[in-house]
Structure 1
Amino acid sequence: MKVQRVTATDAALSFIDKLSKRHGPLMFHQSGGCCDGSSPMCFQEGEFRIGESDVHLGNIGGMPFYMSKDQYDYWKHTQLIIDVVDGRGGMFSLEGPEGKRFLTRSRVYTDEERQILQEDSQ
């Protein structure tokens, strides 16, 4: 069994597909900072510089999702579930002009999932 650290709702996946058709390959980053940084931000691939302090959690809709290491340390016991809702997105995030915003929901891993993730990291 493969445990995903990040996944997305059907609505988010459909919206990611729409954005990628318009903008090309995308990438996501969640820094954990205040304001816009506390929500997942969507950029054209390569538009946001990933650094050594960023963790690649996986892909959603075929697009890479990164989180700052400091933020990841707080969230590593949960699976991130990226959703999209009506509202104002981050001013630099591609979904903003669409009247939508991405948000992060989460759920705590089961004991079995935690064990698998621990084994995978060794």
Structure 2
Amino acid sequence: MTRTSRVELTPAAAGLLRRLREVHGPLMFHQSGGCCDGSAPMCYPAGEFRTGDADVLLESLLVDGVAEPVPFWMSRAQYEVWSHTRLVVDVVPGRGSGFSLEAPDGVRFLIRSRIAGS
């Protein structure tokens, strides 16, 4: 049986992750599912955001040109809502959260979703 990835990256998101990795070292994502900035995936230096029992590790993303996988965490409550979807991490122009590493670049990560199996 072939395993389907739960989380994918667009080429633009992968390119941004490569640049962020060069500057900040190993990375991680967390998506809380809260309002405002919390509804977008946030990128942090690996280990800088504490995860716990309220979070689910969806995938460790492999990015060409990045030495280690980039873990993608999501709050368990948000995961329950999106459990039937495949997530696509993209990057778009605009101001994201001041806490996410891409914010100073004038871009933000964004989730696009597809029904699983499509």
Same fold by TM-score greater than 0.5? yes
User: Match of 2:98?
Assistant: 91
**C-alpha RMSD over aligned residues:** 1.1
Contact 1:40 1:104 in 2 (8 A): yes
User: Match of 2:74?
Assistant: 67
Give the number of the structure whose alpha-carbon radius of gyration is greater. 1
Deviation of 1:110 after TM superposition, in Å, equals: 1.9
SS of residue in 2 equivalent to 1:46: coil
Quick one: percent identity of the two aligned structures?
Answer: 55
User: Match of 2:66?
Assistant: none
Q: Distance in 2 between matches of 1:96 and 1:26?
A: 15
Deviation of 1:59 after TM superposition, in Å, equals: 2.2
Write out the 4+ residue segments of structure 1 that deviate beyond 6 Å after TM superposition.
none
User: Match of 1:23?
Assistant: 24
Deviation of 1:91 after TM superposition, in Å, equals: 1.2
Q: Distance in 1 between matches of 2:109 and 2:59?
A: 16
Query: Please, which runs of 5 or more residues in structure 1 have no aligned partner?
Result: 112-122
Which residue, 63, 88, 108 being the options, matches 1:81?
88
User: Match of 2:107?
Assistant: 100
Query: Please, which runs of 5 or more residues in structure 2 have no aligned partner?
Result: 64-68
SS of residue in 2 equivalent to 1:12: helix
Give the TM-score normalised by structure 2: 0.91
* Bigger fraction of residues in helix: 1
AA at the equivalent of 1:4: S
Q: Distance in 2 between matches of 1:51 and 1:36?
A: 20
User: Match of 2:14?
Assistant: 13
Q: Distance in 1 between matches of 2:117 and 2:31?
A: 23
**Cα deviation digits, residues 31-50 of structure 1 (max 9, x gap):** 00011110000000111001
Give the TM-score normalised by structure 1: 0.88
